[in-house]
Amino acid sequence: MRAGSVKKRKIEADPFFDSVLVTRLTNRVMKAGKKGVAQKLVYHALDQLKDKGQDPLQVLEQAITNVSPRMEVRPRRVGGASYQIPMEVRGDRRVSLAIRWLIAAAKNRPSREYKSKIIKKWGGTDEDIKNLLG
C-alpha cells in the first residue's frame, strides 16, 4: 500500500528581488548548503543584466519561458510492455526543468576565469589549472 502524498513546501520570495523564481534559481545553484555563495552568483549575474539596461527579472522569466518544455514522454505500463506516452508537463515541473537546463547550459559554457577561480578556491595548483583548461 502507498503512503500518503507529501505536502508541498512553501518557497519564500527572494528578499532582494521579491521573486520566488530567483529563490528557486538560487536553491538550484546552491552546493553543499552554501546559500550565501549561490546568492552572490545569482545576484552578480542579474546585476550584469541590470548594467546592460535590461530588466533582470523579465529576462530571467523570458529565458525560463523559452527553455521550458511543453510535452515530455512518460512510461506507461500496458500488459508486459512499457510504452512511452507523450504527456503535458505540469507548471511546477516545467519551471524546475527549465531552471535545471539553464544551469547545466551555463556550466558547459567555456569560461576560463570561473574555472580557475574555483580550482584556486579548492586549493589546486597552477599545473592543475593548466591541465583542466587544456
What pLDDT does residue 46 have? 84
What pLDDT does residue 114 have? 52
What pLDDT does residue 111 have? 66
Query: What is the spatial distance between Cα 106 and Cα 108, in angstroms, rounded to a whole number?
Result: 5
Establish if 15 belongs to a structural domain.
no
Which segments of the chain are extended strands (E)? 71-78, 81-88
What domain range includes position 127?
20-133
Establish if 9 belongs to a structural domain.
no
Establish if 8 belongs to a structural domain.
no
Q: How many domains does the chain have?
A: 1
Establish if 55 belongs to a structural domain.
yes
What pLDDT does residue 123 have? 40
Whichever domain contains 107, its CATH number is 1.10.455.10
Establish if 1 belongs to a structural domain.
no
pTM for the whole thing? 0.75
Q: Quick one: how many helices (H) and strands (E) in the chain?
A: 6, 2
Establish if 13 belongs to a structural domain.
no
Question: Taking the C-alpha atoms of 109, 32, 16 and 114 in order, what is their torsion angle to the nearest 10 degrees?
Answer: -30
Q: For each successive 10 residues of the chain (134 residues), what is the average pLDDT?
A: 86 93 92 90 85 86 89 94 95 92 79 49 45 44
Closest of 107, 89, 98 to residue 24, by C-alpha: 98
What pLDDT does residue 93 have? 94
Establish if 4 belongs to a structural domain.
no
Query: What is the spatial distance between Cα 40 and Cα 57, in angstroms, rounded to a whole number?
Result: 16
Closest of 39, 22, 40, 45 to residue 106, by C-alpha: 45
What pLDDT does residue 121 have? 38
Query: What is the spatial distance between Cα 60 and Cα 51, in angstroms, rounded to a whole number?
Result: 15
Establish if 3 belongs to a structural domain.
no
